[in-house]
Amino acid sequence: MILETLRELGQYSLSLLRAAGGMVVFLGTTVFWAFIPPFRLRQIIRRISFIGVKSTLIIILTGAFTGMALGLQLFYTLRRFGAESMLGPAIALSLLRELGPVLSALMVTGRAGSALAAEIGIMRLSEQIDALEAMAINPYRYLMVPSLIAGMIAFPLMTCIFNVVGIYGGYLVGVKMLGLGPGVYWVEMEHLVDLRDITDGLYKSVSFGVIVTWVCSYKGFFTGYGAEGVSKATTEAVVLSSVLILAWDYFLSSLMV
Amino acid sequence: MIDICDLYKSFNGQEVLRGVSLRIERGELLALIGMSGYGKSVLLKHIIGLMKPDQGQVFIDQQDICQLKGKGLEDMRTRFGFLFQGGALFDSLTVFENVAFPLREKTAMKEAEIEARVLFELEQVGMAGAENKNPAELSGGMKKRVALARALVMDPEIMLFDEPTTGLDPVTTSLIQRFIRQCHERLGFTGMIVTHEIPKIFEIVDRVALLNQGRIAEVGTPDQIRKSTRPEVAQFISGATEGPIEWQ
């Protein structure tokens, strides 16, 4: 009984290790081919549109409501300490350093990451990836590298949009609805927010772009059979990407503090 | 030209190929017939190196494709054309872009030359005028014809057809088979057709091979296959349900 449990545990650990190893090799291969010309600019632009442009609306909506909720919560919390004037910097720092990169990455994962995994999965099932290989075209170069580069470009851009919209959302609630002076909101923000707060957030979002495109492409590339296989691959891609984003965010935050 | 030597392949412990050996001469058109799920498509994918065997070799002009990697494998594959069962057209590209794809990726041809070439190939398969359509707008037969145009656009030395006419009406089937024969005569490629179109396929191929129980049970000219006294060949051609061929 104990031996049986131990054996099952061992097998499970080995399969996890094998899967993790496979993912690392997949990323390594993609990164290797990313440095080998020709560089597929048209494909990269297509992917930026797929990952970024088509996620803009959802990012604007999420950013606006996040900023507004932050404005509302922080205003009343800060008022308890007589520190309403700190609303601007509090919102800006929360968004720039944490919420902007993380929430925008999670939203893009939900919209574009799942679509990426499903698209590549369907390409695998309908033999389109085999067709690429049969035409002597490396699928890593044609599919994975453009997605990876597009993710590294689109994610920080989405984060920037999220941050700007979020700050204006906080302004709308704090200044226009709750009566804080507009000068206080902007001036305190200017005093307390450093360039490093912005760049740290953007570094995070670049790494989230790598994580999401890597995980989602991998899950799609090695999808199971049929509709169930693609559905499972898509779900796993979104769940694993989201967990990795949060874990990696904590790790980076602890380094950047 | 193509020499398959003692090829074995299994999936999750289930043996699909159990020592397949087959030789295809240069310029020959061979039909591979056999029961569904007996590994015909798997064999085809081994020939182009999309699958690696558990054991055995596939020689293309004395070069074992199973041992090739990287640039060597890429160079070898540029000699092939492959028509996939479902067409495998790229959903995100139009019909024109699909056929132009290998030319844009693998040649230095100018756009005007590519356009002329693509339009010629599409006309050959009776798909002129469909250049701007998306694969989703095409019927099964139309997809196969576009895929055929894409597979032939690079003038391959070796053509592999995976069930080119399955699921098509008899007229389209005859048209595609006739087109394959015409292309074979025009381009002189070495070809292998996986098919269930019996006896229609006998009219266009040079030889026929029957894959049964993971091995080549019989190879011969269409006439030899028709007259074969081997029970499994006779059963397969007649479509009889009773006989040595086991249904899996």
B240/chain A closest Cα distance in angstroms = 32
Q: Is the CB of A137 less than 8 angstroms away from the CB of B90?
A: no
What is chain A's mean pLDDT, rounded? Answer: 94
pLDDT of residue A115: 95
Q: Is the CB of A136 less than 8 angstroms away from the CB of B101?
A: no
B-facing residues of A in 29-88 (CB < 8 A) are 46
Interface A-B, measured as beta-carbon pairs within 8 A, has a size of 46
Average pLDDT over residues A58-69: 97
Q: Is the CB of B84 less than 8 angstroms away from the CB of A133?
A: no
Give the chain B residue nearest A127 (alpha carbons). Answer: B88
Q: Is the CB of B74 less than 8 angstroms away from the CB of A122?
A: no
pLDDT of residue A166: 97
Average pLDDT over residues A54-74: 96
pLDDT of residue A71: 95
A86-145: pLDDT as tens digits: 999 999 999 999 999 999 999 999 999 999 999 999 999 999 999 999 999 999 999 999
Residues on chain A touching B77 (C-beta within 8 angstroms): 133-136
User: Positive or negative, the Cα torsion across A60, A66, A72, A78?
Assistant: negative
Q: Is the CB of B91 less than 8 angstroms away from the CB of A138?
A: no
Q: Which residues of chain B have pLDDT under 50?
A: none
pLDDT of residue B246: 67
pLDDT of residue B247: 60
B86 phi and psi angles, rounded to 5 deg: -95, 10
pLDDT of residue B122: 93
Whole-structure pTM value? 0.87
A27/chain B closest Cα distance in angstroms = 18
DSSP chain B: -EEEEEEEEEETTEEEEEEEEEEE-TT-EEEEEE-TTSSHHHHHHHHTTSS--SEEEEEETTEEGGG--HHHHHHHHTTEEEE-TT----TTS-HHHHHHHHHHHH----HHHHHHHHHHHHHHTT-TT-TT--GGGS-HHHHHHHHHHHHHTT--SEEEEESTTTT--HHHHHHHHHHHHHHHHHH--EEEEE---TTGGGGT-SEEEEEETTEEEEEE-HHHHHH---HHHHHHHHT-SSSSPPP-
pLDDT of residue B38: 84
**Domain ranges across chain A:** 43-256
C-alpha span between B127 and A196 (Å, rounded): 58
pLDDT of residue B238: 78
C-alpha span between B190 and B65 (Å, rounded): 16
Q: Is the CB of A128 less than 8 angstroms away from the CB of B88?
A: yes
pLDDT of residue B229: 83
DSSP A149-180: HHHHHHHHHHHHHHHHHHHHHHHIIIIIIT--
Assess A134–B contact: CB distance below 8 Å, yes or no: yes
